[in-house]
Chain A
Amino acid sequence: MKELVLNGTKQTPSVNFNAASGMLELSGRSIPENSFEFYNPLIEWLNEYTAVALDLTKIKVYLEYFNTSSSKYILEVLKKLKEINEIAGKEVSVEWCYDEGDDEMMETGEDYEDVTGLQFTYTEMEE
Protein backbone atom coordinates (compact mmCIF):
# COMPACT_ATOMS: atom_id res chain seq x y z
CA MET A 1 0.00 0.00 0.00
CA LYS A 2 1.31 3.43 -0.97
CA GLU A 3 2.31 6.00 1.57
CA LEU A 4 0.26 9.17 1.81
CA VAL A 5 2.56 12.15 2.06
CA LEU A 6 1.34 15.74 1.81
CA ASN A 7 3.50 18.75 2.48
CA GLY A 8 2.07 21.27 4.88
CA THR A 9 1.07 24.75 3.80
CA LYS A 10 -0.07 27.85 5.69
CA GLN A 11 -3.60 26.46 5.55
CA THR A 12 -3.17 22.71 5.54
CA PRO A 13 -1.27 20.35 7.80
CA SER A 14 1.50 18.04 6.67
CA VAL A 15 0.47 14.41 6.40
CA ASN A 16 2.65 11.33 6.53
CA PHE A 17 0.69 8.08 6.62
CA ASN A 18 2.94 5.05 6.31
CA ALA A 19 1.20 1.68 6.05
CA ALA A 20 4.46 -0.29 6.19
CA SER A 21 5.46 1.07 9.59
CA GLY A 22 1.96 1.76 10.90
CA MET A 23 3.08 5.28 11.74
CA LEU A 24 0.70 8.09 10.84
CA GLU A 25 1.45 11.75 11.37
CA LEU A 26 -0.66 14.87 11.06
CA SER A 27 0.92 18.18 12.01
CA GLY A 28 0.66 21.90 11.42
CA ARG A 29 -2.24 24.22 10.90
CA SER A 30 -5.54 23.03 9.50
CA ILE A 31 -7.73 25.78 8.07
CA PRO A 32 -8.34 24.55 4.51
CA GLU A 33 -10.79 26.37 2.28
CA ASN A 34 -12.37 23.05 1.42
CA SER A 35 -11.98 20.59 4.26
CA PHE A 36 -13.67 17.80 2.30
CA GLU A 37 -11.15 18.08 -0.51
CA PHE A 38 -8.25 17.91 1.91
CA TYR A 39 -9.47 15.24 4.34
CA ASN A 40 -11.32 12.90 1.97
CA PRO A 41 -8.07 11.34 0.61
CA LEU A 42 -7.01 10.71 4.22
CA ILE A 43 -10.30 8.96 5.01
CA GLU A 44 -10.06 6.90 1.80
CA TRP A 45 -6.47 5.95 2.63
CA LEU A 46 -7.60 4.82 6.08
CA ASN A 47 -10.44 2.78 4.55
CA GLU A 48 -7.82 0.90 2.51
CA TYR A 49 -5.45 0.67 5.44
CA THR A 50 -8.09 -1.00 7.62
CA ALA A 51 -7.65 -4.19 5.61
CA VAL A 52 -3.85 -4.27 5.94
CA ALA A 53 -3.39 -2.60 9.32
CA LEU A 54 -0.42 -3.71 11.43
CA ASP A 55 -0.85 -5.06 14.95
CA LEU A 56 0.04 -1.63 16.26
CA THR A 57 -0.86 1.64 14.56
CA LYS A 58 0.44 4.85 16.03
CA ILE A 59 -0.85 8.26 15.06
CA LYS A 60 0.89 11.43 16.09
CA VAL A 61 -1.29 14.53 15.97
CA TYR A 62 0.49 17.83 16.48
CA LEU A 63 -1.81 20.61 15.40
CA GLU A 64 -1.20 24.25 16.16
CA TYR A 65 -4.66 25.40 15.17
CA PHE A 66 -7.64 24.01 13.25
CA ASN A 67 -11.03 25.29 12.16
CA THR A 68 -14.44 23.85 12.92
CA SER A 69 -14.82 21.77 9.77
CA SER A 70 -11.35 20.32 10.32
CA SER A 71 -12.37 19.33 13.84
CA LYS A 72 -15.17 17.25 12.31
CA TYR A 73 -12.75 15.52 9.92
CA ILE A 74 -10.17 14.91 12.63
CA LEU A 75 -12.94 13.11 14.47
CA GLU A 76 -13.65 11.11 11.29
CA VAL A 77 -9.97 10.12 11.07
CA LEU A 78 -9.96 9.02 14.70
CA LYS A 79 -13.22 7.13 14.22
CA LYS A 80 -11.65 5.21 11.33
CA LEU A 81 -8.81 4.31 13.65
CA LYS A 82 -11.35 3.21 16.24
CA GLU A 83 -12.81 0.87 13.61
CA ILE A 84 -9.34 -0.61 13.08
CA ASN A 85 -9.14 -1.06 16.83
CA GLU A 86 -12.62 -2.51 17.37
CA ILE A 87 -13.45 -4.35 14.14
CA ALA A 88 -10.00 -5.47 13.02
CA GLY A 89 -8.89 -6.00 16.64
CA LYS A 90 -5.62 -4.13 16.15
CA GLU A 91 -4.00 -1.87 18.71
CA VAL A 92 -4.17 1.85 18.02
CA SER A 93 -2.47 4.56 20.03
CA VAL A 94 -2.79 8.28 19.63
CA GLU A 95 0.00 10.65 20.59
CA TRP A 96 -1.59 14.07 21.01
CA CYS A 97 1.07 16.79 20.93
CA TYR A 98 0.56 20.42 21.79
CA ASP A 99 2.68 23.51 22.22
CA GLU A 100 4.03 24.34 25.64
CA GLY A 101 1.35 26.12 27.67
CA ASP A 102 -1.39 25.47 25.10
CA ASP A 103 -3.86 23.98 27.58
CA GLU A 104 -6.77 24.49 25.18
CA MET A 105 -5.21 22.10 22.66
CA MET A 106 -4.56 19.53 25.37
CA GLU A 107 -8.20 19.75 26.53
CA THR A 108 -9.29 19.33 22.92
CA GLY A 109 -7.31 16.08 22.81
CA GLU A 110 -9.07 14.95 25.99
CA ASP A 111 -12.43 15.65 24.33
CA TYR A 112 -11.45 13.51 21.33
CA GLU A 113 -10.30 10.79 23.67
CA ASP A 114 -13.68 10.83 25.48
CA VAL A 115 -15.68 10.65 22.27
CA THR A 116 -13.59 8.05 20.42
CA GLY A 117 -12.55 5.90 23.37
CA LEU A 118 -9.07 5.50 21.83
CA GLN A 119 -5.95 5.37 23.98
CA PHE A 120 -4.30 8.82 24.03
CA THR A 121 -0.93 9.93 25.34
CA TYR A 122 -0.19 13.64 25.70
CA THR A 123 3.11 15.31 24.86
CA GLU A 124 3.83 18.95 25.60
CA MET A 125 6.28 20.16 22.98
CA GLU A 126 8.91 22.67 24.06
CA GLU A 127 9.02 25.81 21.95
Chain B
Amino acid sequence: MARINKEKKEDIYLDEAFFLTRSTQFLQEEDKSVSETKAELKTLVTNYAELLDQVKLITRISDRLQRKLDQTNDELNNMNQQIQEKNIQLEKTINDLTEAKIGRRATTFVFVFALALFLISEALIEPWIERFYNNFLISLSIKGLIALSIKPVESLVERSLLKKERARTLKTSEIRA
Protein backbone atom coordinates (compact mmCIF):
# COMPACT_ATOMS: atom_id res chain seq x y z
CA MET B 1 0.00 0.00 0.00
CA ALA B 2 2.81 2.34 1.00
CA ARG B 3 4.58 1.50 -2.26
CA ILE B 4 1.48 2.32 -4.31
CA ASN B 5 1.16 5.65 -2.48
CA LYS B 6 4.81 6.41 -3.13
CA GLU B 7 4.43 5.55 -6.81
CA LYS B 8 1.34 7.76 -7.00
CA LYS B 9 3.18 10.60 -5.30
CA GLU B 10 6.07 10.34 -7.69
CA ASP B 11 3.89 10.06 -10.78
CA ILE B 12 4.52 13.19 -12.77
CA TYR B 13 1.43 12.53 -14.87
CA LEU B 14 -1.09 12.59 -12.01
CA ASP B 15 -3.46 15.06 -13.69
CA GLU B 16 -3.43 13.15 -16.98
CA ALA B 17 -4.05 9.86 -15.14
CA PHE B 18 -6.96 11.48 -13.31
CA PHE B 19 -8.66 12.53 -16.57
CA LEU B 20 -8.10 9.11 -18.11
CA THR B 21 -9.73 7.41 -15.11
CA ARG B 22 -12.64 9.85 -15.30
CA SER B 23 -13.23 9.15 -18.99
CA THR B 24 -12.91 5.39 -18.46
CA GLN B 25 -15.54 5.54 -15.72
CA PHE B 26 -17.76 7.66 -17.97
CA LEU B 27 -17.56 5.00 -20.70
CA GLN B 28 -18.71 2.33 -18.27
CA GLU B 29 -21.75 4.31 -17.25
CA GLU B 30 -24.91 3.84 -19.30
CA ASP B 31 -27.79 6.16 -20.23
CA LYS B 32 -25.62 9.20 -20.87
CA SER B 33 -27.18 11.97 -22.90
CA VAL B 34 -25.62 13.25 -26.13
CA SER B 35 -24.74 16.57 -24.52
CA GLU B 36 -23.04 14.84 -21.56
CA THR B 37 -21.11 12.61 -23.95
CA LYS B 38 -20.09 15.61 -26.04
CA ALA B 39 -18.94 17.50 -22.93
CA GLU B 40 -16.90 14.52 -21.77
CA LEU B 41 -15.41 14.08 -25.23
CA LYS B 42 -14.55 17.77 -25.32
CA THR B 43 -12.68 17.48 -22.02
CA LEU B 44 -10.91 14.38 -23.26
CA VAL B 45 -9.91 16.04 -26.54
CA THR B 46 -8.66 19.16 -24.72
CA ASN B 47 -6.55 17.04 -22.39
CA TYR B 48 -5.33 14.90 -25.25
CA ALA B 49 -4.26 17.97 -27.22
CA GLU B 50 -2.46 19.32 -24.17
CA LEU B 51 -0.77 15.98 -23.56
CA LEU B 52 0.28 15.79 -27.20
CA ASP B 53 1.85 19.25 -26.93
CA GLN B 54 3.68 18.15 -23.80
CA VAL B 55 4.92 14.94 -25.43
CA LYS B 56 6.19 16.85 -28.46
CA LEU B 57 7.94 19.40 -26.24
CA ILE B 58 9.46 16.88 -23.86
CA THR B 59 10.63 14.66 -26.73
CA ARG B 60 12.33 17.62 -28.44
CA ILE B 61 13.96 18.70 -25.17
CA SER B 62 15.08 15.16 -24.34
CA ASP B 63 16.59 14.68 -27.81
CA ARG B 64 18.39 17.99 -27.48
CA LEU B 65 19.70 17.13 -24.02
CA GLN B 66 20.82 13.72 -25.28
CA ARG B 67 22.70 15.42 -28.12
CA LYS B 68 24.28 17.82 -25.63
CA LEU B 69 25.32 14.93 -23.40
CA ASP B 70 26.77 13.06 -26.37
CA GLN B 71 28.77 16.12 -27.40
CA THR B 72 30.06 16.55 -23.84
CA ASN B 73 30.92 12.85 -23.74
CA ASP B 74 32.83 13.13 -27.03
CA GLU B 75 34.69 16.18 -25.75
CA LEU B 76 35.58 14.31 -22.56
CA ASN B 77 36.79 11.29 -24.55
CA ASN B 78 38.94 13.53 -26.75
CA MET B 79 40.37 15.29 -23.72
CA ASN B 80 41.04 11.95 -22.06
CA GLN B 81 42.87 10.73 -25.16
CA GLN B 82 44.93 13.93 -25.28
CA ILE B 83 45.78 13.56 -21.58
CA GLN B 84 46.88 9.96 -22.19
CA GLU B 85 49.07 11.01 -25.13
CA LYS B 86 50.62 13.84 -23.09
CA ASN B 87 51.13 11.41 -20.22
CA ILE B 88 53.05 9.01 -22.49
CA GLN B 89 55.15 11.92 -23.81
CA LEU B 90 55.81 13.13 -20.28
CA GLU B 91 56.77 9.64 -19.13
CA LYS B 92 59.18 9.33 -22.09
CA THR B 93 60.73 12.72 -21.35
CA ILE B 94 61.14 11.84 -17.66
CA ASN B 95 62.77 8.54 -18.65
CA ASP B 96 65.12 10.31 -21.08
CA LEU B 97 66.03 12.88 -18.44
CA THR B 98 66.61 10.18 -15.82
CA GLU B 99 68.76 8.18 -18.22
CA ALA B 100 70.80 11.30 -19.08
CA LYS B 101 71.24 12.12 -15.38
CA ILE B 102 72.24 8.55 -14.59
CA GLY B 103 74.56 8.50 -17.63
CA ARG B 104 76.36 11.60 -16.34
CA ARG B 105 76.64 10.06 -12.88
CA ALA B 106 78.00 6.79 -14.36
CA THR B 107 80.53 8.71 -16.48
CA THR B 108 81.77 10.54 -13.38
CA PHE B 109 82.02 7.24 -11.52
CA VAL B 110 83.91 5.60 -14.40
CA PHE B 111 86.23 8.60 -14.67
CA VAL B 112 87.13 8.20 -10.98
CA PHE B 113 87.42 4.42 -11.50
CA ALA B 114 89.74 4.91 -14.52
CA LEU B 115 91.83 7.40 -12.59
CA ALA B 116 92.13 4.93 -9.72
CA LEU B 117 93.07 2.13 -12.14
CA PHE B 118 95.68 4.37 -13.75
CA LEU B 119 97.19 5.19 -10.38
CA ILE B 120 97.12 1.53 -9.30
CA SER B 121 98.61 0.50 -12.64
CA GLU B 122 101.41 3.07 -12.43
CA ALA B 123 102.11 2.65 -8.73
CA LEU B 124 101.72 -1.11 -8.25
CA ILE B 125 101.28 -3.13 -11.45
CA GLU B 126 103.97 -1.46 -13.55
CA PRO B 127 106.75 -1.96 -10.94
CA TRP B 128 105.54 -5.53 -10.35
CA ILE B 129 105.75 -6.37 -14.13
CA GLU B 130 109.13 -4.71 -14.41
CA ARG B 131 110.35 -6.67 -11.41
CA PHE B 132 109.17 -10.13 -12.40
CA TYR B 133 108.79 -10.10 -16.22
CA ASN B 134 110.41 -6.94 -17.54
CA ASN B 135 108.52 -7.45 -20.80
CA PHE B 136 106.98 -4.55 -22.76
CA LEU B 137 104.32 -6.72 -24.46
CA ILE B 138 103.02 -8.15 -21.15
CA SER B 139 102.90 -4.65 -19.68
CA LEU B 140 100.97 -3.36 -22.76
CA SER B 141 98.53 -6.28 -22.68
CA ILE B 142 97.72 -5.81 -18.98
CA LYS B 143 97.20 -2.07 -19.50
CA GLY B 144 95.04 -2.82 -22.56
CA LEU B 145 92.88 -5.22 -20.51
CA ILE B 146 92.45 -2.58 -17.82
CA ALA B 147 91.45 -0.01 -20.45
CA LEU B 148 88.98 -2.43 -22.10
CA SER B 149 87.30 -3.17 -18.73
CA ILE B 150 86.25 0.50 -18.38
CA LYS B 151 83.34 0.34 -20.89
CA PRO B 152 81.65 -2.76 -19.36
CA VAL B 153 82.05 -1.21 -15.90
CA GLU B 154 80.35 1.97 -17.16
CA SER B 155 77.40 -0.05 -18.55
CA LEU B 156 77.17 -2.04 -15.33
CA VAL B 157 77.16 1.11 -13.19
CA GLU B 158 74.59 2.78 -15.44
CA ARG B 159 72.25 -0.25 -15.31
CA SER B 160 72.59 -0.52 -11.57
CA LEU B 161 71.89 3.21 -11.02
CA LEU B 162 68.88 3.10 -13.37
CA LYS B 163 67.46 0.10 -11.51
CA LYS B 164 67.88 1.92 -8.21
CA GLU B 165 66.28 5.11 -9.57
CA ARG B 166 63.27 3.20 -10.96
CA ALA B 167 62.76 1.38 -7.68
CA ARG B 168 62.92 4.71 -5.85
CA THR B 169 60.38 6.31 -8.25
CA LEU B 170 58.04 3.33 -7.87
CA LYS B 171 58.25 3.54 -4.08
CA THR B 172 57.55 7.28 -4.12
CA SER B 173 54.51 6.85 -6.39
CA GLU B 174 53.20 4.00 -4.17
CA ILE B 175 53.52 6.21 -1.08
CA ARG B 176 51.68 9.06 -2.86
CA ALA B 177 48.90 6.69 -4.00
Instruction: Please determine whether chains A and B interact with each other in the same assembly.
Output: yes
Which residues of A come within 8 Å of B, CB atoms? 34-37, 65-69, 71-73, 75, 104, 107-108, 111-112, 115
Chosen A-B contacts, 13 in total, with CB atoms closer than 8 Å, are A34-B10, A65-B65, A68-B58, A71-B57, A72-B12, A72-B54, A75-B54, A104-B67, A107-B64, A108-B64, A111-B57, A112-B57, A115-B57
Contact yes or no, B11 A104, CB < 8 A: no
By the criterion CB–CB under 8 Å, are A73 and B12 in contact? yes
DSSP majority for the B interface? helix
Instruction: Specify the main secondary structure of chain A where it touches its partner.
Output: helix
**Distance between A101 CB and nearest chain B CB, rounded to angstroms:** 11
User: B residues engaging A (CB < 8 A)?
Assistant: 9-13, 53-54, 57-58, 60-62, 64-65, 67-68
Query: Known: A72-B54, A75-B54, A115-B53. Contact between A108 and B10, CB under 8 A?
Result: no
- Report B168 CB to chain A, min CB distance, Å: 41
Residues in A whose Cβ lies below 8 Å from that of B65 = 65-68, 104
Known: A104-B67, A115-B53. A71 touches B62 (CB 8 A): yes
Chain A residue nearest to B59 (CB atoms) is A68
Q: Are A111 and B60 in contact (CB under 8 A)?
A: yes
| B6, closest chain A residue (CB) | A34
Residues of B within 8 A of A66 (CB): 65
Residues of B near A115 (CB, < 8 A) are 53-54, 57
**A71 and B61 within 8 A (CB):** yes
Q: Is the CB of B57 within 8 A of A68?
A: no
Do A104 and B68 have beta carbons less than 8 Å apart? yes
A36 contacts B9, C-beta separation under 8 Å: yes
Identify A104's interface contact among B10, B13, B54, B64, CB under 8 A.
B64
Contact for A72 among B58, B60, B64, B68, CB less than 8 A: B58
CB within 8 Å for A36 and B54 given contacts A65-B65, A108-B64, A111-B61: no
A108 and B64 CA atoms in complex are apart in Å by: 8
Question: B57 — which chain A residues lie within 8 A by C-beta?
Answer: 71, 75, 111-112, 115
